[in-house]
């Protein structure tokens, strides 16, 4: 078999020679503690150059430093990890923007990787680039079978492993981990949304955008019967209301509410806006303040929450703006709740070359 050159350590200029076979590549990466345990595509110079041709700017410009190791991210390093993950070149702008989002201080990547909570960055792709690159926003959006979702989500995780140093144990302290630490990427189903795009609701008007929300795996919400918003939102509020979530004692924890198109249509048919959904869930997802106090000695609450008596019902998060609503998924009367780790704020950015 022929030998294949590959860029070592996720993009550093040194080259290694490896026998051109999947087993040899896997053995090499395992010996160095690289990779995610799944088969990889060899990042040859030709493949990396093809990735770089799909983006603009200096390939070796430092775009960000990623915690906890504070490794440097460049377009070349992103390209190497994109090849390893099996990406096509057209998705490079999504990955470049995602890397910049991961470094934003409000996202708190150091905390995300240091916590024992099973938190993973969920990447949501919005707009024109989601359609052009074939991201799945519909049926099975969180599941297998779509190359863009699977490989881009995987590339994000490889960047976290190779650049941020977020390996289980020494760099990622999650006690159990979660399946979404392999790949966690979907697209907003704007074609079936009754509202404006999610980025536009956050003040991002670009034709293509990404959102990163650091959270748990999706929590399913099932309502097959309701013809009005109330019962659907009651069930979503019930799913949000749990003492076991990190958000329970953190006033600025976010909830991403990923409505299925049928639930969204039922809600919008009654004239309800995205803001109405968030406000209603803020009012309905509540528990007695005394119960919170009984369960949590340490609480990151707003002052007004500390001031109420034990019988007052407190919301699961301190402000309706922390409840973020968009449409994801295909046919069926299901929706999803994705609670955050708590000490993190989502980031939405326009996609840049």
Check residue 138 and give its pLDDT. 98
Check residue 141 and give its pLDDT. 98
For residue 124, give every residue at least 6 positions away whose Cβ sits within 8 Å of its Cβ, in sequence order, or none: 185, 186, 187, 188, 198, 210, 211, 212, 213, 326, 328
* pLDDT tens per residue across span 84-115: 999 999 999 999 999 999 999 999 999 999 99
Per-domain boundaries in the chain: 3-350
Cα–Cα distance measured from residue 51 to residue 291, given in angstroms and rounded to the nearest whole number: 53
Check residue 352 and give its pLDDT. 86
The residues pairing with 186 across neighbouring beta strands, listed in sequence order, are 124
Cα–Cα distance measured from residue 253 to residue 337, given in angstroms and rounded to the nearest whole number: 13
Name the burial class of residue 47, with classes exposed (0-12), middle (13-18) and buried (19+) by CB atoms within 10 angstroms of its CB. buried
Check residue 21 and give its pLDDT. 82
Does the CA dihedral 91-156-219-258 come out positive or negative?
negative
Listed as ranges, residues in the chain with pLDDT below 70 are 1-15
Q: Where are the alpha helices (DSSP H) in 103-228?
A: 109-114, 128-132, 147-159, 198-201
For residue 97, give every residue at least 6 positions away whose Cβ sits within 8 Å of its Cβ, in sequence order, or none: 210, 349, 350, 351, 352
What's the CA dihedral at 327, 110, 150, 51 to 10 degrees? 110
User: Phi and psi at residue 313, in whole multiples of 5°?
Assistant: -90, 125
For residue 122, give every residue at least 6 positions away whose Cβ sits within 8 Å of its Cβ, in sequence order, or none: 180, 184, 185, 186, 212, 213, 214, 215, 256, 338
- Do the Cβ atoms of 121 and 183 come closer than 8 Å? no
CB atoms inside a 10 Å sphere around CB 146: 20
Check residue 5 and give its pLDDT. 52
* pLDDT tens per residue across span 50-81: 999 999 999 999 999 999 999 999 999 999 99
SS3 call for 214: strand
Cα–Cα distance measured from residue 212 to residue 205, given in angstroms and rounded to the nearest whole number: 17
Check residue 16 and give its pLDDT. 75
Cα–Cα distance measured from residue 68 to residue 88, given in angstroms and rounded to the nearest whole number: 28
């Amino acid at each position: 078999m022929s030998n294949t050159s590959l860029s070592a350590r996720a993009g550093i200029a040194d080259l290694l020679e490896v026998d051109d076979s999947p087993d040899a590549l896997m053995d090499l990466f395992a010996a160095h503690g690289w990779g995610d345990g799944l088969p990889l595509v060899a990042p040859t110079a030709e493949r990396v150059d093809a990735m770089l041709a799909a983006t603009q700017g200096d390939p070796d410009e430092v775009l960000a430093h990623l915690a906890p190791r504070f490794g440097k991210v460049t377009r070349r390093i992103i390209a190497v990890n994109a090849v390893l993950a099996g990406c096509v070149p057209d998705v490079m702008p999504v990955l470049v923007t995602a890397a910049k989002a991961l470094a934003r201080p409000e996202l708190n990547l150091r905390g995300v990787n240091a916590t024992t909570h099973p938190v993973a960055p969920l990447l949501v792709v919005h707009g024109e680039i989601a359609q052009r690159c074939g991201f799945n926003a519909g049926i099975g959006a969180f599941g297998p079978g779509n190359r863009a979702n699977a490989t881009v989500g995987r590339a994000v995780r490889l960047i976290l492993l190779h650049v941020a140093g977020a390996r289980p144990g020494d760099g990622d302290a999650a006690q159990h981990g979660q399946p979404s630490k392999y790949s966690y990427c979907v697209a907003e189903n704007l074609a079936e949304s009754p509202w404006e795009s999610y980025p536009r609701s956050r003040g991002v008007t670009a034709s293509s955008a990404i959102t990163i929300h650091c959270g748990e795996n999706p929590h399913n919400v099932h309502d097959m019967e309701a013809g009005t918003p109330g019962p659907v939102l009651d069930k979503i509020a019930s799913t949000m209301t749990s003492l076991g979530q990190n958000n329970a004692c953190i006033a600025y924890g976010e909830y991403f509410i990923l409505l299925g198109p049928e639930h969204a249509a039922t809600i919008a048919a009654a004239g309800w806006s995205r803001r109405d959904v968030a406000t209603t869930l803020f009012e309905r997802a509540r528990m007695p303040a005394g119960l919170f106090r009984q369960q949590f000695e340490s609480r990151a609450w707003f002052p007004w929450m500390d001031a109420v008596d034990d019988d007052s019902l407190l919301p699961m998060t301190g402000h309706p703006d922390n409840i973020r609503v968009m449409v994801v998924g295909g046919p069926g009367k299901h929706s999803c709740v994705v609670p955050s780790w708590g000490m993190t704020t989502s980031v939405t950015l326009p996609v840049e070359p």
